[in-house]
Amino acid sequence: MIPYYFDWAATTPMSERALDTYASSVRTYRGNPSALHKEGKDAAKFLSLQRETTGRLLGVSPKQIVYTAGATEGNGIVLQSLLWLRSPASVLMSAIEHDSVINYQRLLAQHGCTVHTVKAPQGYLDLQQFEQSLQSDTRMVCVMLVNNVLGTVQDIAHIAKIVRTHQKQHGRPIHIHVDAVQSIGKIPLELGSLDIDSATFSAHKFQGPKGVGILYLKHHAKIAPLSKGGGQEMGIRAGTENIGAIAAMNTALQETLDTMETSLERGIGLRRRFERSIAPHGDLLELMSPGIDSGSAITPYILALCVKGLPSEVFTRVMYDNGFCISSGSACSNNAPGKGEGVFAGASFSPEKASSAIRISFGPQTTESNIDDLAQTLVQEAKKMSSLTRRR
Amino acid sequence: METTLYLVRLGEISLKKMNRDFFERKLKENIKYKLRPYKNFFKKQKGRLFIEVESSTPEEQVYQALSTTFGVVGFSKASTCAKDMDEIRKVAREISSRASFLTGAKTFKVETVRADKKFPLDSYGISGELGHEILVSQPELRVDVHHPDRILHVEIRDKAYLYASPEPGPGGLPVGTAGRGMLMLSGGIDSPVAGYRMAKRGLRQEAVYFHAYPYTSDEAKEKVITLAKLLSPYCSGLTLHVVPFTDVQLHIKTHSHEEENTLMMRACMMRIANMLAVQRNCLAVITGESLSQVASQTLESLAFTNSISDLPVFRPLIGMDKNEIVETSRMIGTYETSILPYEDCCTIFSPKHPLVRPDKELLTKAYREMGIEHLLEQAVGQTEIFVL
């Protein structure tokens, strides 16, 4: 592992145990789970056991688990299902959603759907505006559980309550979709107790392999598949199942949940240590995420900082030259113009702050000395860079 | 060795008198350079160049070489035979039965050039006879002498040469016939087009790019290298100089007024381009500037940056609209790379309100007072060179 890897929200290193599971399961189960011969049946049985494991670990029924290629695909499956509705729907989403949700706005609008976005000042959904934005024809609500850039956690239980009350008044079901990709291991999660209809996860965010994920679906009825074919994954996601990756994902999930209590505690300590180290340098670095002791709902593992007066991309390069992997906004949108600045606009930060924002994210393997080195280098480089451009 | 014959039509070169040989020799060198992995032989005749290429040479390779070489007005794969009407008829039948001749064609005509005036039939007679021959062998075709879908060209020279509708070449003059220039290449749409335009007038060029890491990314540099590679075939080879520009930009940022930053940066780039040009025996600097496109391209701004250059500055796009530039950029294949989202100038160095109508005298004074020459020399000394 790179010693100064602070981009865990983009992706995590795959755990050794997950790697072992991957290797052993692909060696053992070589058949296609849809095949009729013994090799196929063994694979199907193994897959069924894996689904039970996933269900057990997430506290939901195995029948509610659909394996996908990741949260982006899962979000796509849920959102494009709206295109098949007979009458155009109205969709409500938070303004700080990931691009894999936000970027459906145009497609949905082209098909007659109305998409409303609700601001999330400082990373928290404006619940009053949210409630007012619910329409009589609202059919879907999309809210991210843990924000991938700010680390803020939405009160999904409360949001669901608002939606269900509205639903009762208007008599039309509203699908609540939660992008929960950053939640595993970062906050305690009881998926089954949340009154939501779907949620998405990616294995590579919790030390599992890339290219595999979970779509939790409470009921399958209103969901249309993106890919059609062999009818795998209860007809929601056709294509031969990636058995090795699914098994490895479960190993990583088990490992993450088993150690979460202690690692979260450690994470809070590391975050506090980091915040204290940079606090005296407020003229250079400003915390954009809520502080760990602010009482706000956050995960300790993700935070956004503003490096005053310096474009985030430039500072990210400088930090990399010093051996630190950090991110300017969200890695998934780093290939597109704007580069994740949309989240900051959605969270009501000024364009100046947004263009100078960097994201620091760490994980259970990050040490105190890593955090100290990071804080020290951030301060040192921010100081150096700002003096270089100061007029003489 | 079996060979395939290609006929190249020359345009402006044919009009040259005393130094036509020089232009033809450069054109031959440029084509030979592009076909260097394959054996080839050249033969010149007035207004024509005949190239025999070993038959194993991929046709696309030859087409790519000829369609990007300035001086070529048109080219075509040609057939040859003895100056005998029976032989000529046979070849005409063969060419007109090819799929490339017939596909999508309803009408045709035959055009004859009778350079050998001793040939018994005149050009009209040859065209008529061959037209009849094709009408008989391809009865679905009709003759249309005004707007034909296909033209069969026949040239009676030392032998008879026959070829169908030729591919258009890029025209212009062979690169290397008009001296050398230093092209200021950015990652944008305009400067590659400027390079293309000057190459078309025969100017051999080298290019300079200013890289300000970490304020601009390595992806921006890679983008410019890709652009230079795309431009290289038109320039018959291009050497790219990547100048480290960070110290210069920081000095400008800290020693000049914010609204002057861009013009000071342009002035420094112009100085460095001049220094490199002298080192590399170039007699001009080329930029992609277009009048009033941005603040640094107003007449007053151009007058200032122009005054910094000791060498003539060519601005082939000065009177072109952006959409005309984009059109050329698409045509030469640089557009898709130019629009990649890697900026070649960091926002930190871009003033919110740049000077639009600067006073040349005042700005020149401010430029001198910055005391930046030693940094420019240092940057030139650290230049990275890519031969593309």
pLDDT of A392: 63
Last residue of a domain, one of B114, B147, B168: B168
Closest residue by Cα to residue A248 from A59, A56, A61, A53: A53
**B175 occurs within a structural domain:** no
**Residue B204 pLDDT more than 70?**
yes
**B191 occurs within a structural domain:** yes
Where in chain B does DSSP place strands (E)?
A: 3-10, 40-45, 48-54, 72-81, 107-114, 142-143, 150-156, 160-164, 167-168, 180-184, 204-211, 239-244, 284-286, 313-314, 384-387
**Domain identity same for B80 and B101:** yes
Partners of A234 in the beta sheet? none
Q: How confident is the prediction along chain A (392 residues), in pLDDT tens digits per residue?
A: 466 999 999 999 999 999 999 999 999 999 999 999 999 999 999 999 999 999 999 999 999 999 999 999 999 999 998 888 777 889 999 999 999 999 999 999 988 899 999 999 999 999 999 999 999 999 999 999 999 999 999 999 999 999 999 999 988 899 999 999 999 999 999 999 999 999 999 999 999 999 999 999 998 777 888 888 888 998 899 999 999 999 999 999 999 999 999 999 999 999 999 999 999 999 999 999 999 999 999 999 999 999 998 999 999 999 999 999 999 864 444 444 454 568 999 999 998 899 899 999 999 999 999 999 999 999 999 999 988 877 66
**Domain identity same for B42 and B143:** yes
pLDDT of B11: 81
Last residue of a domain, one of B116, B134, B168: B168
Last residue of a domain, one of B139, B168, B197: B168
Inter-chain touch A389–B347, beta carbons under 8 Å: no
CATH code of the domain containing B84: 3.30.2130.30
Q: Out of A311, A313, A390, whose CB is closest to B254?
A: A390
| Of the ranges A328-342, B5-19, B285-299, the best mean pLDDT one | B285-299
**Domain identity same for B258 and B383:** yes
Distance of residue A214 Cα from the nearest chain B Cα, in angstroms: 33
**B152 occurs within a structural domain:** yes
Whether B255 contacts chain A with CB within 8 A: yes
Whether A317 contacts chain B with CB within 8 A: yes
**Domain identity same for B78 and B24:** yes
Which 3 state secondary structure label does DSSP give B386?
A: strand
Q: Out of B250, B258, B347, whose CB is closest to A311?
A: B347
Q: Out of A314, A321, A392, whose CB is closest to B348?
A: A314
Which 3 state secondary structure label does DSSP give B90?
A: helix
**B173 occurs within a structural domain:** no
Chain B residues with CB-CB distance to A309 below 8 A: 348
Three-state SS string over chain A comes to: CCCCECECCCCCCCCHHHHHHHHHHHHHCCCCCCCCCHHHHHHHHHHHHHHHHHHHHHCCCHHHEEEECCHHHHHHHHHHHHHHCCCCCEEEEECCCCHHHHCCHHHHHHCCCEEEEECCHHHCCCHHHHHHHCCCCEEEEEEECECCCCCEECCHHHHHHHHHHHHHHHCCCCEEEEECCCCCCCCCCCHHHCCCCEEEEEHHHHCCCCCCEEEEECCCCCCCCCCCCCCCHHHCCCCCCCHHHHHHHHHHHHHHHHHHHHHHHHHHHHHHHHHHHHHHHCCCEEECCCCCCCCCCECCCEEEEEECCCCHHHHHHHHHHCCCECECCCHHHCCCCCCCHHHHHHCCCCHHHHHCEEEEECCCCCCHHHHHHHHHHHHHHHHHHHHHCCCC
Pick the residue from chain B with its C-alpha nearest to A320. Answer: B214
Mutate to test the interface with A, among B251, B342, B348 (most CBs of A within 10 A): B348
**Residue B298 pLDDT more than 50?**
yes
**Domain identity same for B143 and B250:** no
Mutate to test the interface with A, among B254, B256, B344 (most CBs of A within 10 A): B254
**Domain identity same for B80 and B213:** no
**B265 occurs within a structural domain:** yes
Tell me which of B223 and A222 has the higher pLDDT: B223
**Helix count (H) and strand count (E) of chain B?**
14, 15
Whether B254 contacts chain A with CB within 8 A: yes
pLDDT of B296: 86
Whether B39 contacts chain A with CB within 8 A: no
Q: Looking at residues B135-145, what average pLDDT do you find?
A: 94
**Domain identity same for B159 and B191:** no
pLDDT mean across residues, chain B = 93
**Domain identity same for B209 and B269:** yes
pLDDT in tens, B376-387: 999 999 999 999
C-alpha distances (whole Å) from B278 to each of A209, B203, B241, B350 are 56, 16, 13, 29
**B29 occurs within a structural domain:** yes
Question: For chain B, how many structural domains are there in total?
Answer: 2
**B8 occurs within a structural domain:** yes
pTM exceeds 0.90 for this model: no
pLDDT of A85: 78
C-alpha span between A127 and A131 (Å, rounded): 6
**Domain identity same for B210 and B111:** no
Catalytic residue numbers of A read 332
Task: Establish whether this prediction's ipTM goes over 0.85.
Answer: no
**B297 occurs within a structural domain:** yes
**Domain identity same for B255 and B148:** no
Please give the residue range of the domain that contains residue B280.
Answer: 180-387
pLDDT in tens, B147-185: 999 999 999 998 999 999 888 999 999 999 999 999 999
**Domain identity same for B129 and B235:** no
What count of residues does chain A have? Answer: 392
Q: Looking at residues B333-355, what average pLDDT do you find?
A: 86
Whether B215 contacts chain A with CB within 8 A: yes
Chain A residues with CB-CB distance to B253 below 8 A: 389, 391
Inter-chain touch A390–B347, beta carbons under 8 Å: no
Pick the residue from chain B with its C-alpha nearest to A319. Answer: B214
**Domain identity same for B190 and B242:** yes
CATH code of the domain containing B375: 3.40.50.620
